[in-house]
Amino acid sequence: MPPRRRSRRKTRRRANPAFNLVNAAELYMQTAVITNNLMGTNPFTALTGMEYGKQGMTGGSKVGSTAIMGYGYNPSNAATVTLPELVGFDKGNTNVPFGQGVDVIKANFNQNLMPMLVQTIGVRAGFAIGKKLMTKQRSFINNKVLKPIGLGRTVRV
């Protein structure tokens, strides 16, 4: 009996370990749609409870005083909720019960279900079409811009 012939194995294609900026942007947009419709805030504010707004006034409450703007913990209105409020870490009130904002999320879900679905589908379709239309431009950026400066293996567009 002749020896068994070695079968040729297909070479496995290695996964690209680079960080894809377009996929990251799509993920952020999808997260923004969900947090905006359910929690009434952007993803940063939903996770940290920190939001940009008025932090104080220069010169007290005199006429001509200027508002000091910046990031801080400012629980705003009843239609928004953040993760610190959900888990009971509300800095303004030490007796916050666990899961305080669940009712707000339920109300926002019931009110914003259809707009959220349309926005989610729109973001996905927009990125899918945009990726197809911009293939040559993305390839140019990856091969002629990122690769020569040494970011070809780290970052992709």
| Rounded CA separation 157/135 (Å) | 10
Which carries the bigger pLDDT value, residue 60 or residue 28? 28
* Residue 5 placed within a domain: no
Whether 1 is in a domain gets the answer: no
> 11 in a domain, yes or no?
no
Residue 2 lies in a domain: no
pLDDT of 95 above 60: no
pTM over 0.85: no
Q: Can you tell me which residue has the tokens 């705003």? A: 76
> Is there a domain that residue 104 lies in?
yes
Q: pLDDT tens digit string along 3-33?
A: 777 777 777 777 778 999 999 999 999 999 9
Q: If you average pLDDT over residues 33-45, what whole number do you get?
A: 91
List, as own/partner pairs, every contact residues 60-63 make where C-beta atoms lie below 8 angstroms and the sequence separation is at least 24, other chains included. Answer: none
Ramachandran region of residue 68, left (φ > 0), alpha (ψ -120 to 50) or beta? Answer: beta
Q: What is the pLDDT of residues 104-132, one digit of tens each?
A: 889 999 999 999 999 999 999 999 999 99
Name the domain count of the chain: 1
In a domain, 127, yes or no: yes
Question: Domain containing 65: what range?
Answer: 19-156
Q: CA 42, 45, 47 angle in degrees (round to 5)?
A: 105
User: Which segments within the chain are labelled E, that is strand?
Assistant: 19-20, 50-57, 67-73, 155-156
Q: What gap in Å lies between CA 122 and CA 143, rounded to an integer? A: 29
Evaluate whether residue 102 is within a structural domain.
yes
Strands 67-73 and 50-57: antiparallel
Q: Is residue 63 part of a domain?
A: yes
The pair of three-digit structure tokens given for residue 40, joined into one six-digit string = 């009434």
